[in-house]
Amino acid sequence: MRATRAVQVLLSVLPAQQPAQGWTQALAEAALQAQGVQVNRVTVYRALDRLAEAGLLQRSVDAQRTTRYWVANTLAPAPSAHMECKACHQPMELDDSAAAVQAALQALRQAVAQTAGVHNPTLDVTVQAECAHCAHGQ
């Protein structure tokens, strides 16, 4: 991966300003422009995808086919889970530190790893449910 100015700025901005709903291409492009880096959307898409392939970002696609990125925990890589509200389609990251969520994700990862020919699986699980706001009809 080339260390272009855009990639260097992304690496500094993404962890520091991560929105709860994850980074989209448009949010990342706006963050770059706020730092004085003028890039086109294709460059941003490519940089985000390369960072995800390198394991620095986790990628998730929601029901509207919007790709969202979250900063990966590189010190203790673990499966991640995200939730999308079935009613308002608001994305949110689930609390991966919750013991029950981590246990379920680890069990799924082990089950996938036991499949013949599968090595080093990574998980990106999206749960669809109603958020607290929509569930209470507010």
Query: Count of H helices and E strands in the chain?
Result: 5, 5
Sign of CA dihedral 64, 59, 40, 29: positive
Burial class (CB in 10 A: 0-12, 13-18, 19+), 57: buried
pTM score of the predicted model: 0.58
- 34-47 burial, b if ≥16 CB within 10 A, otherwise e? eeebebeeebbeeb
> 87 near 131, Cβ under 8 Å?
yes
Q: pLDDT (tens digit, 0 to 9) for every residue of the chain, 138 residues total?
A: 677 888 888 888 887 777 777 888 999 999 899 989 888 889 899 999 988 888 888 888 877 788 888 887 654 455 567 778 888 888 776 765 667 777 887 788 788 888 877 777 777 677 888 888 888 876
- Could you tell me which residues come within 8 angstroms of residue 17 by beta carbon, excluding any fewer than 6 positions away? 31
